[in-house]
Structure 1
Amino acid sequence: MERLQKVIAHAGFASRRKAEELIVEGHVKVNGKIVKELGVKVSSSDRVEVNGIPVEREEPVYFLLYKPRGVISSVTDDKGRKVVTDFFQQIEQRIYPVGRLDFDTSGLLLLTNDGEFANLLMHPKNEVEKVYVAKVKGIPSREEMRSLEKGIRLEDGKTAPAKTKLISMDKKKQTAIIELTIHEGRNRLVRRMFEAIGHPVIKLKRERYGTLTLQGLNAGEARELTAHEVKQLRTLSQSKLR
């Protein structure tokens, strides 16, 4: 069951706010009857009309994209830069990214037209693990790594405990490659965490999201999630919210 205004907006008739106006003004029918209440929910079997025109609902779709660096996690960009939906020109549905990856961060990004699914994954209490691999300046000490694991104080609050793993180090170039596992979704969080311990990120990639990985994909490639993968993510997200 979905809110009526959401169904209308999703079908491309109007924005969510304009859809609410259409309902209140009596332009919307559900199963042949005018509905003016905003709280009404409809199922896939209900017939919805706007000014006598049937609302055709999109089938939900779910994609995994290996986002390259230099691409905006958005559906449009006022500066004309490449956006993630440019990789889905053949897709008829109006998909959008679930959360975001920074312009200069590569890796796993989900896209969908299922608002409920996206909101579930982006809920602040959702603790789905996200695994990043960062190349950083300098070689963090064990004490600095431990501070990330305990949680580090940033300007917008202390971070939740993270998992760290030193993958490799280059003593000559004074760089290190570190795997960091977090479950928060704050803006530029991984970069800010490493900056806070004095090791700015040179390169960053998200390699895992929940049970999903980039296996079999090159940068700029995408694939549709299986029904099992979607169910796994829903189950994982909902279990964390209980």
Structure 2
Amino acid sequence: MSRGDNSGKGKTSRRQEGKGKSRSNANDKGKSNYGNKPYVKSKSFAKKASNTAPKKLTDSDEIRLNKYVANSGVCSRRDADLYIKTGSVWVNGKPVTEMGYKVKLTDEVKFDGRLITPHKKEYVLLNKPKGFVTSTSPEKTRTVMDLVANASKSVLKPVGRLERNTTGLLLFTNDVDLEKKLTHHKSGVRKIFHVELERNLKYEDLQKIENGIKLEEGFINVDEISYIEGASKNEIGIQLQSSKNGIIHKLFEHLNYSVVKLDRVIFAGLTKKDLPRGHWRILTEQEVINLRMM
């Protein structure tokens, strides 16, 4: 593995990020794909950002049916008009074909027989710094939710978790289906970490990890492991699919090594390119498509 730049140390190959532009609507004008500022320690974590998200609808608000359908993520607003005309959209048990028809958030809307909700699916990528717990519960300690508090008005959840002192890429979304897909133990999501040990890793120990290690959690296979090119032998690049908590620490501890630093530099094809520590950005449309195709 070569020693990389901000796009991630320890990666086996450089994968160009998708160049598709994010979809936008009237509420997104002027909103950058990137978080304006890194996290700054303060008494109040959730400071208002200059690129504030649009106002969240209440249950009493009415919106056009085509916008409701489009915001659910099933199609564009223009296509929604076509589906409405053909009777594919039902409201409260009845087909609606009227253009400009308005609905409330409390209404039951179905598209081709499937219940849909009008919440636009959002995807935010964070370059997590040390000292933050991956948790969605209010705690006295600092959580990753503090870092993305201004990224969206929607309720976003982390995809998987990183330990408090592990740094690197962490994805957030309100797309429940994709979150389940990426965290399933058979998903095969590629994750690459840059590991720094307290001492040089012996080549024979590197080979042991490469061949697989039997731990209490079971037999752990890695996809690839190698020394970081141009660095000391205590810097390792490791690629694996296991999502078991603390598994990398346990792999090296089994061979009497201590992990000093652990940084996730690639997750599901996403990299840290142009994303400084403590910053977040919104995924491009192409990146979202790539994730759904995995």
Deviation of residue 180 (structure 1)?
A: 0.7
Could you say which residue in structure 2 is the equivalent of 1:22? Answer: none
Could you say which residue in structure 2 is the equivalent of 1:219? Answer: 277
Could you say which residue in structure 1 is the equivalent of 2:260? Answer: 202
**Larger relative contact order (CA 8 Å, sep ≥ 6):** 2
Q: Does 1:181 align with 2:239?
A: yes
Q: 1:169 aligns with which of 226, 232, 243?
A: 232
Identity %: 29
Secondary structure of 1:107 counterpart:
strand
Bigger fraction of residues in helix: 1
Q: Does 1:153 align with 2:214?
A: yes
Cα separation, 2, equivalents of 1:43 and 1:98: 27
Bigger fraction of residues in strand: 1
Cα separation, 2, equivalents of 1:117 and 1:47: 17
Cα separation, 2, equivalents of 1:47 and 1:187: 35
Q: 1:92 aligns with which of 145, 153, 164?
A: 153
Q: Does 1:104 align with 2:168?
A: no
Secondary structure of 2:289 counterpart:
helix
Structure 1 moving runs of 4+ over 3 Å:
41-48
> What is the aligned-residue RMSD (CA, Å)?
2.6
Secondary structure of 1:195 counterpart:
helix
Secondary structure of 1:199 counterpart:
coil
Cα separation, 1, equivalents of 2:119 and 2:132: 26
Cα separation, 1, equivalents of 2:114 and 2:203: 61
Superimposed CA distance per residue, residues 106-147 of structure 1 (whole angstroms, 9 cap, x where no aligned partner): 000000001100000011111121010011022111111111
Could you say which residue in structure 1 is the equivalent of 2:189? Answer: 128
Q: Does 1:68 align with 2:129?
A: yes
Superimposed CA distance per residue, residues 66-89 of structure 1 (whole angstroms, 9 cap, x where no aligned partner): 0111011122243x1111121222
Cα separation, 1, equivalents of 2:253 and 2:191: 19
Cα separation, 2, equivalents of 1:152 and 1:71: 29
Q: Does 1:231 align with 2:294?
A: no
Give the letter aligned to residue 189 of structure 2. Answer: V
Could you say which residue in structure 2 is the equivalent of 1:141? Answer: 202
Cα separation, 1, equivalents of 2:276 and 2:111: 36
Deviation of residue 200 (structure 1)?
A: 1.2
Deviation of residue 161 (structure 1)?
A: 3.1
Secondary structure of 2:204 counterpart:
helix
Cα separation, 1, equivalents of 2:222 and 2:127: 27
Cα separation, 1, equivalents of 2:199 and 2:249: 14
Q: Does 1:31 align with 2:91?
A: yes
Q: Does 1:81 align with 2:144?
A: no
Q: Residues 230 and 138 of structure 1: is their aligned pair in 2 closer, same or farther, counting only changes over 3 Å?
A: same
The size of the alignment, in residue pairs, is: 192
Cα separation, 1, equivalents of 2:180 and 2:256: 34
Q: TM-score, normalised by structure 2?
A: 0.60
> Any gaps of 5 or more consecutive residues in structure 2?
1-56, 60-89, 95-107
Could you say which residue in structure 2 is the equivalent of 1:37? Answer: none
Q: Residues 45 and 214 of structure 1: is their aligned pair in 2 closer, same or farther, counting only changes over 3 Å?
A: same
Q: Is the 8 A contact 1:150 1:162 kept in 2?
A: no
Q: Is the 8 A contact 2:133 2:141 kept in 1?
A: yes
